[in-house]
Amino acid sequence: MKAWLLQCKFEMLRNLRNRRFFFFSILLPVGFYFLYVHLVGKAVVIDGVNWPTYYMISMATFGVVGTGLNGLSSRVAYERTQGWVKLMQTTPQRASNYITTKIAANVLLNICEVAILFVAGAAVEHVTMGVGEWMLAAITTILGGLVFIALGILVGHLAGSDASQIVASILYFLMSITGGLWMPVSTMPSVMRHIANFMPTYHLAHIAWNVLAGKGIAVTDIWVLLVYLVVFTGLAVYLANRRSDARVA
């Protein structure tokens, strides 16, 4: 357990020292939040939620997506091509520690990212919610980030270290835009609104949006996220095992 905790700490420090992570997961969401709150106006209400609160959830989700994709894909790809997994198998540590510490470290980083966005919303834009609403919005956003952690690992197994950065960045922005994180889905053209219904980014943010609008959690959002999580995880495990079998052969 001590070795696992040390490795988890190491993974967290690596992320915090990563400029790409800091920019895409912290600076960009916070910067967009302040910019668009003032461009659109605080008096605007979207689907029963005032704009500063609505967009705080959007950017918290945006940051969580960035943590999973940009924080993991290139690192997994680099370490895979450099034979780190094979090296780990020669040590006393369990092979599973390699991936579980990365997942745990990214969940902790998601907690930090969501906390920063929520503090920015409350302290600067005067967002007010009940304690239960704050907690539920934070928990669902953080746990929903597991979907994008799995996607980041999958991209790392699909592409090389250089290509994975490009693929992850494209997915990051495409899923964020089509998922209604940059602009409300209700303001999009009908085709874009239809596409949003298939995006995990939309369904993750939609959970908190509904809670804040007093509508409760939609079961559809949970099921869509679970399906994506199972698919991304299954594909990542399959690719990892296939590469492992190829090395043995």
The tens place of each residue's pLDDT in the chain, 249 residues long, gives 777 888 788 788 877 777 777 787 889 999 999 999 999 999 999 999 999 999 999 999 999 999 999 878 888 888 887 776 666 666 666 667 778 888 999 999 999 999 999 999 999 999 999 999 999 999 999 999 999 999 999 999 898 878 888 999 999 999 999 999 999 999 999 999 999 999 999 999 999 999 999 998 999 999 999 999 999 999 998 988 876 545 544
Q: Is the pTM of this model over 0.75?
A: yes
Indicate the number of domains in the chain.
1
Distances in Å between the Cα of 236 and the Cα atoms of 73, 108, 128, 173, 224 are 11, 21, 40, 21, 18
> Could you list the residue range(s) of the whole structural domain that residue 138 is in?
2-248
b/e code 184-221 from CB counts within 10 Å (16+ = b): bbeebeeeeeebbeebbbbbbbbbbbbbbeeeeeeeeb
First CA to last CA distance, the chain: 32
Q: Sign of dihedral through CA atoms 157, 235, 233, 29?
A: positive
- β-partners of residue 50 are 45
Phi, psi dihedral angles at 49 (to 5 degrees): -125, 135
Structure tokens at 65: 């997506």
